[in-house]
A and B are shown apart, each in its own frame.
Chain A
Amino acid sequence: MMVMKNKTSSSIKVFVLLILLAICIVSFFISIGKGSLDISFQEVIKAIFIEDDTVNHRIIFNVRLPRTLVAGLVGICLGVSGAILQGVMRNPLAAPNIIGVSSGAGLMAYIILILFPKYYYLVPIGAFVGALFATLLIYLLAWKNGVNPMRLILAGVAVSSLLGAGISSLMTLFPDKVAGAVGFMVGGLSARTWPDFNILWPYALLGLVLTFLFPKKLNILMLGDEIATGLGLNVERTRLMFIAFAALLAASAVSVVGLLGFVGLIVPHTARLIIGSDYRYLFPATAILGATVVMLCDTIARLVFDPVEIPVGIVMSLLGAPFFLFLLRERKSMER
């Protein structure tokens, strides 16, 4: 009997995942089709698979496809990174910026853009290194016979504000050069194309494959350190491993699009409200939802003030926050 019941609940979850996936695919085509020049669904398909050297084909292949792919991938990385951290820290407010990814990447990007603007092309790699370095620093500072989640969060807040002070001093000392660097801070997908995608996907793939191998470990870690130890989980090693995955995913995303903070916090939350806390379903749901959200928001960011683009981060906050609050209220009234 139990097996049957379990099956129904998991088949409902698989069904929900399929719906999310369908929405994601639709969003993908919307994102590619909409723009200064609207291209219909059929034409998009034709342009991708059949034609070459038509105008549509060139617009899609050189501009829209890579940008949409980067958007989707960034959404996946930031979302999954946030989902990992909320589980590892057992804290609903945990997000990639709590392990220093944003501040580390931000400081390195600013150092390059303000002090060594000639080497602007090093920003992605610099941001990546900065993000991982900040994570490592926070982890070491929080270490004391092991790392407890609360100490990690506090160390994260401290290090982030320290690095933030670094960013602020750079902005104050070199006010004339700030303009060129602001874009990184807000986060945006403007003019992202194949080279950006090529930087991103190997790290993203690696991080995702590793993460998706161990959802059960994260489920058990959520039950508490002592319980997890009692169940035969090496708590310290598991936590370090997942923090490393989260840092890798978030750092690779941030290095390409700048500080898109919001996705990592709200998307895993929303996914959790839709599909529950079991990471076997939460990981795929977060990934799909993350891709959908960033692709759609970027489409809106391109369209509303066309031909002027607004940074996707702003759109995400404007639309995402109210939607999330709405979801939260609905969920509560359902439970009552």
Chain B
Amino acid sequence: MILHAKDICLRYGNKEVVKNVSITVNKGEVVSIVGPNGCGKSTILKALSRYIKPSKGEILLEGKNIQTIPTKKAARKIAILPQVRNVPNDFTVETLVSYGRYPHLSFGNRLKKEDVETIDWAINKTGMNQLRERTVATLSGGEQQRAWIAMALAQRPEILILDEPTTFLDISYQLEILELVKELNKALSLTIIMVLHDINQAIRYSHRIYVIKNGEVYSHGDSKTLISSDLLRRVFRIEADALEDSTNGCPYYIPQKMVIG
């Protein structure tokens, strides 16, 4: 177990958004978190990425409480790609990716040869080589997403946390990003934790899925068997037909109508 959230509660002010959630992630796994809007899945992700502190429970990274690990040290293990981010207009892809080395630099240190090599590697790995001189602001949505993933890779993390990596992307970029994620998982045995909106993508691209409803884990398990028409009805309140995606060897759900009442 590389990451373990033990009975965590999360609150914004006095409002408890997440109640007694436990999540385990094994090394080399792709784990997706799904659930209706406002169920607390992004909040859980923010806790896993150290951005908010649990009001109860603890999150263990390789057995150690994530809040007590020095923040730079944790950043060498976990890279995160949140939805909210910002990049100055004149920053190039290369500049952005170089910031991925920040947790590895000691005070005032410049980039060493090894860092430059890692930056090169991350840029190549994400297929950004042709675009490295371009400013991030001028790239398309999918290219920007790849640039940020390259930055995260430059951290040389063991875990990559992605918050809705396909939102706002058209269908080809969605495919491209998820294929990239899959390849990074396979080639680098990078552990991936992501929030996805699309159930079918979650089934196809992850090993295990956590379904969150009203701030609690509704159920979790193997992605190929966990989701059922019954679960979709109870959690998402939709009637869906199940088909078989024989190419990828997984079920595929077509939403048909809302459950009334």
Contact = CB atoms under 8 A, between A and B. Distances in A.
Contacts of A229: 49-51, 71, 80
Contacts of B123: 2
A90 to B, nearest CB: 6
Interface string B148-192: 000010010000010000000000000000000000000000000
A219 B94 contact: no
Contacts of B233: none
Given A226-B84, A231-B75, A232-B76, A2 B94 contact: yes
Contact of B102 (A144, A145, A224, A233): A233
Given A2-B119, A226-B46, A277-B90, A232 B132 contact: no
A265 B46 CA distance: 34
A254 interface: no
Interface in A1-21: 2-3, 5-6
Contact of A231 (B84, B100, B119): B100
Nearest to B103: A232
Given A230-B80, A232-B71, A277-B89, 19 more contacts: A2-B116, A5-B133, A6-B94, A90-B86, A216-B102, A222-B87, A223-B96, A224-B85, A225-B51, A227-B85, A230-B79, A230-B82, A230-B161, A231-B75, A231-B99, A231-B103, A232-B73, A232-B75, A232-B103
Contacts, number: 86
Contacts of B76: 232
A21 B232 CA distance: 66
Interface string B96-128: 100110110100100000001001100100000
B100 A222 contact: no
A234 interface: yes
A73 interface: no
A134 interface: no
Interface of A: 2-3, 5-6, 90, 144-145, 213, 216, 219-220, 222-227, 229-234, 276-278
Given A2-B120, A213-B108, A224 B94 contact: no
Contacts of A145: 13
B88 interface: yes
Contacts of A225: 51, 84
A270 to B, nearest CB: 14
Contacts of A224: 82, 84-86
Contacts of B133: 5
21 contacts: A2-B94, A2-B116, A3-B116, A5-B94, A6-B94, A90-B86, A145-B13, A222-B87, A226-B49, A226-B51, A227-B85, A229-B50, A230-B49, A230-B78, A231-B102, A232-B71, A232-B73, A232-B74, A233-B71, A276-B90, A278-B95
Interface of B: 13, 46, 49-51, 71-76, 78-82, 84-91, 94-96, 99-100, 102-103, 105, 108, 116, 119-120, 123, 132-133, 152, 155, 161
Nearest to B116: A3
List the 6 closest A-B pairs by CB distance, nearest first. A232-B75, A277-B88, A230-B80, A232-B72, A232-B103, A226-B82
A226 B102 contact: no
Contacts of B155: 231
Contacts of A3: 116
Contacts of B71: 229, 232-234
B87 A223 contact: yes
